[in-house]
Amino acid sequence: MKRILVVIPILLLMILFISSCAHTHEFGTWKTVKNASCMENGMQERLCSCGEKQTQIIPAKGHHFGEWNTVKNASCTDSGEQERTCSCGEKQVQTVPMLGHTIVIDEKINPTCTQTGLTEGSHCSVCHEIIVEQKIIEKNNHIIEIIESQSATCTQAGLSEGQKCSICGEIIQTQIKTSEPLGHDYGEAVITKHVDCEHNGESVKTCKRCGKKETDIITATGHSWKSATCSSKRTCTVCGKTDGDFADHNYSKTTTEATCTQKGKNIYTCTVCGYSYEEVISEIGHKWTNATCTVPKTCSTCGTTDGNSLGHNYVDGKCSRCGESEGNWSVYRYVDEFKMETNDKYIATVVSGTFSNSATTDSLLDVIIAADKEKTQHIDFYFLLFTYGNYLVKQTYGTGYYDVVMRTSNGEKYTFTAYMLEGGDRLLLDDEYEPLLMASLLSGGTTYFYIVDQDFTTTNYLFSVESSNFASALKELTE
């Protein structure tokens, strides 16, 4: 029984041994047990699942020093020191050799009459230590030289005798001025190059004492030009030189105005040479305005009429053509400063016509024709002219005069003068002409007017007035 019990443990050990021999280690990752330093190795290990451990050495890193830093600078006579440090704190030190002197020669300075000199020497240019000391060399004495006296010349003053050192040039005895410079004594100037309008001239004069020559420039005079004309170029009155082009003709214009039926002309005459040429102005031709109830067919330019006015065609007291009411003269009263009517009366009528000037032709014209009674029972006529419908013609400067052509209903023409006072707006007739107008209006029919401004002959006014009820209105005025 004991033998059996002994055998069993042995069998178990054999089984375990056989099982152990059949196992293959499977190690894990390496783990650092001890870090390597600069001078000592480290250790790392790994384990198998069975508990078996495997180790290996991590080699020492060795020192890693930084840059050398100067601890002590080397000098000419002493060595220096540098050090560098590892990350572990270990330091490494080295010696920097001494530099030795940098020899510079101090050049010799020669003595002068007034300053000492120095022997040659040397020193270190780095630490400035004297290597060979310079010795003082005593200064020299002056060597006197006589400066001769000098007589005055044209440009230099007279001087007395003086002294100076022949070595250093220092003045020992100053020369004293004995006389002023004489100045040049020039003779008469001689012309060596003649001047003209474009080129400078020259003259030379010579000093009688020293022979110095002095040249003077004679400035060119420049041309004296006579202006160019249409027959000659610009010409110098001194040398006769001509320049440029002929001038244009200087024309003056004389105009004969064209009329409706006759040609005009412009004559251009040069006021310098008399050359002239003509320019024909074509006839203007009549500019006819149609006949109206009160105005025949009329040229707006020259006032020539053709035929008769149409005359009013009154139907039930109103003209069927122009709409004018029969009996268009009315009686009015003047007003005072309070705009209240006074006992003074006047009669007036409003008519339409046309006007022309340099800016317009046959534009609308409204005319107020009025008559009032003076205390002498004399009847005065006046006209108010409204251009463009509402612009009252006024006389700004001086008295304005107008040529008036009046044509009565029976075809008779009268020519007389009207005037407008400075600052006024009424076109007035002289007393001697008013009876003509009175007679025309009392004879019945239509009276025509063509009025021209004497100062501005292109300005004219054309209109007509019906007698209609003038006689009855006049009677009311004079009662």
pLDDT in tens, 446-458: 999 999 999 999 9
- Mean pLDDT for the chain overall: 85
pLDDT at 99: 82
3-state class of 46 per DSSP?
strand
| Amino acid 129: pLDDT | 87
**Residues 127-134, mean pLDDT to the nearest whole number:** 89
Q: Quick one: pLDDT at residue 421?
A: 94
The more confidently predicted of residues 460 and 372 is 460
Kindly report the pTM of this predicted structure.
Answer: 0.36
In this predicted structure, the answer to whether residue 5 has a pLDDT above a threshold of 90 is no
- Condensed to tens digits (0 to 9), the pLDDT of residues 331-376 reads 888 888 888 888 888 999 999 999 999 999 999 999 999 998 865 5
Cβ atoms of 61 and 37 closer than 8 Å: yes
Q: What is the pLDDT averaged over residues 75-84?
A: 88
Q: What is the pLDDT of residue 49?
A: 86
Residue 138 contacts residue 110 (beta carbons within 8 Å): no
Residues facing 341 on adjacent strands: 335
The answer on pLDDT for 240 being more than 90 is no
Q: Report the pLDDT value the prediction gives residue 18, as an integer from 0 to 100.
A: 46
* pLDDT tens, residue by residue, 260-310: 888 889 998 988 888 888 898 998 888 888 877 656 677 878 767 776 666
More confident site: 468 or 369 = 369
Measuring CA to CA, which residue among 283, 229, 225, 227 is closest to residue 259? 283
Cα 435 to Cα 458: distance, rounded to the nearest angstrom? 29
Q: Give the separation between CA 431 and CA 416, rounded to whole angstroms.
A: 11
**Are 199 and 219 within 8 A, CB to CB?**
no
